[in-house]
Amino acid sequence: MKDFLKNEMILWKKNRGLTILTLPAVIVLIVMCYLPMFGIIIAFKDYNYSLGILNSPWNGFKNFEFFFKSSDAWRITRNTLLYNSAYLIAGTSISVLFAICMNELSKRWIKVYQTVMFIPYFISWIVVGYLMTSFLDTQYGLMNRIISTLGGNTIGWYNTKAYWPFILIFMNIWKYVGYNTVIYYATIIGIDPSYYEAAKLDGAGGIQMIKYITLPMLKKIIIILFILSLGNIFRGDFGLHYFGTNNAGALYSVTDVIDTYAFRALRQMGDIPMASAVSAFQSTVGCITILIANRIIKKIDADAALL
Amino acid sequence: MKKKNKKSKLVSICIHITFLITCLLIIIPFVLTIGISISSEKDIYTYGYRIIPKNIDLSAYKLLFSAPEVIVNSYLVTILVVVIGAPLGLVMTAMIGYVISRKDYRYKKILTFFVVFTMLFSGGMVSYYMTMTKVLHVQNSLWALILPGLVSAYYIILMRGFMSDIPMEIIESSKIDGASEIKTFTKIILPLSKPALATIGLFMAFNYWNEWYNALLFMDGNKLVPLQLLLVRMLNSVDAMTSNPQVLQQMMMSGMDISTIPTLTLRMATAIVAVGPMLLVFPFFQKYFTKGITLGSVKG
């Protein structure tokens, strides 16, 4: 026992310098990430402002019952899942296509296109919301002006539900296509050029080379990124769904996702029991899907897995 | 052979057209917004938003700069958050990233798990909000904007990837020379990882610049309003700019008629003033971002 302790002490001394280096980050992580994990108990309490978190009475699963019995639960879960799937499928296919096309161009042009396509990634959703209103504003927006010049009837964009699934998917691609294209393009230029040279000698054409060399080489990273995003499928894009839609109440049934719903419950209605149930539900299912996704990735490529 | 060349030329033209259209779809919204901001309010009432304004009218900008308190204050808050947050976060990230990249560090495994676990599970928005307001009491302070972005598992893992390329021999020779771990880190490791620090530091700086989520959750007053939050408030109503008594007073003093404040153009002008500088700086840094993303994606 004594030897063991002595041994531990020696090892500790050896690692002390490095451990000190980690302390600031460890403390921040404890405060910002681990402390809120315990805060999840609020979801099981009948939260009372004057009593505080610890002293509020326990409420069992009542908050969850209340949430799941409302029609909102199904609606926001469905919206979150459907939108994220659409973003994922549309975004991945367009970005892969763009990356393959980009590979056919000269370096100079690639740089120009990449720079421009990258801009939206570094603009906040709030600014994107501004850009969207200049097109979609009912009275003055460019879209309605074009429609009325062509002799059509103007559209009240911010209270017509039918268009929003398309608008949201379009905007999501608009914002992230540059970023994703860079990722896939980098993988393509990482492919050993001798494959292409050999194929050329065998008389393969451009399309054949893409089909038999580029795509199979891309397959692994596409699958990994795809599954990684599947793990985040319960995390709605708050910025897009809140600022992109101007938080318009008339659109909630088609635009509301878990994140926007929880935010409104917390900040606008002050309904803490409800909000906490929603966000506890989200982080629990989210965690499960991430773990499943990670498991699958581990089978494909152990190095790419999180754990 | 000639036929083939013709075909490939056609393909490359098609590709160019696709990318040009994509780029136009990205640029036009910005041009339109600039166009609105330099239109006269009257033209907008009659003709709507136009990419090329009928009459150029800079009164929205004049108004913004005649009473610049609000926007200058927002700039200062945002810059302060970037200047404090990004370097502080970068140093913390570099320190822990370096340590978990060291294969001989005894607690490497458990510490890596400690970091990665934060990517798997979170307490959710409500308990995060409660922690910040009821436990840390940082609402309406700069810390509410700085603390959340300081350390994130993603950048730590990215940093670990960069740092694990540093050969162990260098570290060992420094130790043989009698340097402590901390000295080795500051004198040897940090200078060696300048590219990594630049890339991740830039990402952090841009994240702080664009930060709105925490501002939206925790900032209620009129004092500490970062740029993005100012834009949120103005998206709802231009009052955010004109309800400030100081601003109103200045407008009146400069002889402006408050009843004819060009609200529509003023809103867009504010957006342009808020993002313009960043858009101008961005192309110079784009190279680093591209590098950062590709390295991150390859290393997981």
- Please, what is the Cα angle at B82 between B229 and A237, to 5 degrees? 50
User: Cα–Cα distance between A251 and A164 in angstroms, integer?
Assistant: 8
**Whole-number pLDDT of residue B297:** 53
Name residue, tokens 């867009």: B268
Give the side-chain half-sphere CA count within 13 A for A230: 16
Which of A202, A140, A141, A186 has the alpha carbon at shortest distance from A167? Answer: A141
Write down the domain spans for chain A: 69-300
Minimal C-alpha gap between B253 and chain A (Å) = 30
Least CB–CB distance from A117: residue in B26, B123, B181? B26
Contact between B220 and B229 under an 8 Å Cβ cutoff? The reply is no
Least CB–CB distance from B33: residue in A36, A130, A291? A130
Range in A196-205, A231-240, B5-14 with the lowest mean pLDDT: B5-14
Q: What pLDDT digit, counting tens, does each position of A124-144 carry?
A: 999 999 999 999 988 888 898
Neighbours of B292 (CB within 10 A): 22
**Residues 122 through 141 of chain A touching chain B, CB cutoff 8 Å:** 122-127, 129-135, 137, 139-141
**Whole-number pLDDT of residue B65:** 83
The conformational region for residue A65 under phi > 0 = left, psi -120 to 50 = alpha, else beta, is alpha
**Whole-number pLDDT of residue A51:** 82
**Whole-number pLDDT of residue B300:** 39
**Whole-number pLDDT of residue B253:** 63
Under DSSP, is residue A140 helix (H, G, I), strand (E, B) or coil? coil
Q: Which of A19, A28, A51 to mutate to test the interface with B (most CBs of B within 10 A)?
A: A28
Given the candidates 1.10.8.80, 1.10.3720.10, 3.40.50.620, 3.40.50.10490, the CATH classification of the domain at A69-300 is: 1.10.3720.10
Q: What is the CA radius of gyration of chain A?
A: 25
Q: Tens place of pLDDT for every residue, chain B, 300 residues?
A: 445 577 778 888 999 999 999 999 999 999 999 999 888 888 888 888 888 888 888 888 888 888 788 889 999 999 999 999 999 999 999 999 999 999 888 899 999 999 999 988 888 888 899 899 988 999 999 999 999 999 999 899 889 988 888 888 899 898 888 888 899 999 999 999 988 898 899 889 989 999 999 999 999 888 899 999 998 888 766 555 555 666 666 666 665 566 567 778 888 998 998 888 888 888 788 777 777 777 655 443
Write down the domain spans for chain B: 58-298
Least CB–CB distance from A186: residue in B264, B297, B300? B297
User: Cα–Cα distance between A190 and A268 in angstroms, integer?
Assistant: 49
Angle, helices A164-189/A107-118, rounded to nearest 10 degrees? 140
**Whole-number pLDDT of residue B152:** 92
Please give the residue that has the higher pLDDT: either B92 or A204: B92
Q: Which of B42, B45, B126 to mutate to test the interface with A (most CBs of A within 10 A)?
A: B126
DSSP letters, chain B, are: -HHHHHHHHHHHHHHHHHHHHHHHHHHHHHHHHHHHHTB-HHHHHHH---SS-SSB--HHHHHHHHSTHHHHHHHHHHHHHHHHHHHHHHHHHHHHHHHHH-TT-TTHHHHHHHHHHHHH---HHHHHHHIIIIIS--TTSTHHHHHHHH--HHHHHHHHHHHTTS-HHHHHHHHHTT--HHHHIIIIIHHHTHHHHHHHHHHHHHHHHH--HHHHHH--SSSS--HHHHHHHHHH-THHHHS-HHHHHHHHHTT--GGG--HHHHHHHHHHHHHHHHHHHHHHHHHHHHHHHHHHHHH-
The answer to whether A179 faces chain B, any CB pair under 8 Å, is yes
Which of B10, B84, B74, B25 has the alpha carbon at shortest distance from B226? Answer: B74
Angle, helices B263-299/B2-37, rounded to nearest 10 degrees? 140
User: Cα–Cα distance between B59 and A295 in angstroms, integer?
Assistant: 59
User: Cα–Cα distance between B113 and B107 in angstroms, integer?
Assistant: 10
- Mean per-residue pLDDT over chain A, rounded: 88
Contact between A144 and A138 under an 8 Å Cβ cutoff? The reply is yes
For chains A and B, CB pairs below 8 A equal 275
Q: What pLDDT digit, counting tens, does each position of A68-93 carry?
A: 888 888 999 999 999 999 999 999 99
Please give the model's pTM, rounded to 2 decimal places: 0.88
B120: chain A residues, CB-CB within 8 Å? 287, 290-291, 306-307
**Whole-number pLDDT of residue B295:** 65
**Interface predicted TM-score of the whole assembly (ipTM), two decimals:** 0.87
Name residue, tokens 């978190």: A53
Minimal C-alpha gap between B256 and chain A (Å) = 25
Q: What pLDDT digit, counting tens, does each position of A169-194 carry?
A: 999 999 999 999 988 898 888 888 88
B113: chain A residues, CB-CB within 8 Å? 307
User: Cα–Cα distance between B113 and A210 in angstroms, integer?
Assistant: 39
**Whole-number pLDDT of residue A166:** 95
User: Cα–Cα distance between A268 and A165 in angstroms, integer?
Assistant: 25
A259: chain B residues, CB-CB within 8 Å? 125
Given the candidates 3.40.50.10860, 3.40.50.720, 1.10.1740.10, 1.10.3720.10, the CATH classification of the domain at B58-298 is: 1.10.3720.10
User: Cα–Cα distance between A18 and B98 in angstroms, integer?
Assistant: 9
Please report, rounded to a whole number, the percentage of residues in chain A having pLDDT higher than 90.
32
Structure tokens at A198: 């050999």
Name residue, tokens 């938080």: A247
Q: What pLDDT digit, counting tens, does each position of A262-288 carry?
A: 999 888 888 888 888 899 999 999 889
The answer to whether A48 faces chain B, any CB pair under 8 Å, is no
Contacts of A157 (CB under 8 A, 6+ apart): A136, A137, A138, A141, A143, A144, A163, A167
**Whole-number pLDDT of residue B248:** 63
**Interface contact B130-A17, CB threshold 8 A:** no
Structure tokens at A264: 């409104």
Range in A155-159, A275-279, A302-306, B97-101 with the lowest mean pLDDT: A302-306
Which of A169, A175, A150, A202 has the alpha carbon at shortest distance from A82? Answer: A169
Q: What pLDDT digit, counting tens, does each position of A3-43 carry?
A: 888 888 888 888 888 999 999 999 999 999 999 998 888 88
Which of B219, B168, B216 has the alpha carbon at shortest distance from B189? Answer: B168
Range in A118-122, A231-235, B98-102, B247-251 with the lowest mean pLDDT: B247-251
**Residues 193 through 232 of chain A touching chain B, CB cutoff 8 Å:** 206, 221, 225
- Give the residue-averaged pLDDT of A113-130: 91
Q: What are residue B226's phi and psi, to 5 degrees?
A: -65, 165
**Whole-number pLDDT of residue B29:** 94
Rounded (10°) CA dihedral B207, B209, B214, B217: -140
